Amino acid sequence: MNNPSRKEMYNYYFEDPKNKKIVKTLNKARLEYFYFNKGFDIKTGDYEVCNICILGGNSKLIRNQEEHRIGKFDMAFLPENEEIKLIPNQQEPFTNKICVVSSPIVGKIGKEMGEGFTIKHFSWEKFVPRGELGDNKKMTTYREVLTYYKNGYFMSGFTNIPKKSLEQGVVTSVNLEESKSGKIRIYPHIHSEFPEVYIFCISDKTKSVAVTQYLINSEGNSVCKDLIDGEGLFFEGFMGHMNFIKPTYKNLEYCMYMWIIPTFGKEKDITPTTLLV
């Protein structure tokens, strides 16, 4: 396991793909993030699975000559040896955007769980509260989480920051631990074997609403970057990671980030551990 330098850590970040398609590979998992204005195919081969997320526009998804609808913030899972076609409803530039994460099958848990092709549709009613609001002992960690997949191949979904947390400022991807003296300490997450994709989805597209995203190596060296709507990162899971959403009183429709963790058929669920720095 290499311990990346600060310079190398900045390479994990990427911009919105308006200028070019984003393609990155970590641990044999592959990320493709791009805009599209015409139909295209997505295929998986032997011992390969795929998790897609629509991040802009509405499309027809055709599988085995059957037509399905798939729209903004919906996800789909493709098992091995699967093929679909996506056809956008609109052809205007920068309307339709997609994230495609493909990974090899290494373990047996995914096959034992047996999930086939599925589409998951976005709904605010499916979000579950997590964390706590702040007080004089700790920062706010309250957020709302929508989990789409825990199928042995991927853990994926969205985390939304509601208005009452935005007004205070909030940290996410953290564990809260109480010291012997009773003080609450906040530590960043790690999940050593598994890389992760974050893409930020914020209804305010200005730089006045940005998430400060931190990466920390095992020596405690860190980098951070302010990320706005459409920007993200694809990083090694052994890196400590946390997000700070700075306070704002703007009335946002949503302030979310999409997350996809390939688990390679090895795990159904990952409990992030704590990076002590």
Domain parsing of the chain, residue ranges: 6-265
Beta bridge mates, 50: 78, 102
| pLDDT at 241 > cutoff 90 | no
pTM: 0.93
- What pLDDT does residue 219 have? 82
| pLDDT at 233 > cutoff 60 | yes
Task: Please give the Cα distance from 146 to 258 (Å, whole number).
Answer: 9
Angle at 273 between CA 178 and CA 131, to 5 degrees: 55
Confidence of residue 46 (pLDDT cuts 50, 70, 90): very high
- What pLDDT does residue 48 have? 98
- What pLDDT does residue 268 have? 87
Beta bridge mates, 237: none
Task: Please give the Cα distance from 13 to 15 (Å, whole number).
Answer: 7
- What pLDDT does residue 273 have? 61
Rounded average pLDDT over 83-112: 96
| pLDDT at 275 > cutoff 70 | no
Q: In terms of Cα–Cα distance, which of 119, 104, 116, 103 is closest to 54?
A: 119
Structure token digits, residue 131: 């964390």
Q: Write phi, then psi, for 190 (nearest 5 degrees).
A: -140, 155
CATH code reported for the domain at 6-265: 2.60.120.10
Rounded average pLDDT over 123-137: 87
- Mean pLDDT computed over every residue of the chain: 90
Task: Please give the Cα distance from 120 to 133 (Å, whole number).
Answer: 29
**CB contact set of 269 (below 8 Å; sequence gap of 6+):** 150, 155
Residue 29's identity, in one-letter code, is A
Rounded average pLDDT over 58-86: 98
Rounded average pLDDT over 103-127: 96
- What pLDDT does residue 269 have? 82
- What pLDDT does residue 277 have? 44
Rounded average pLDDT over 98-106: 98
Rounded average pLDDT over 111-124: 96
- Write the pLDDT tens digit of every residue in 176-228: 776 677 776 777 667 778 999 999 999 987 777 779 999 988 888 899 999 99
| pLDDT at 141 > cutoff 90 | no
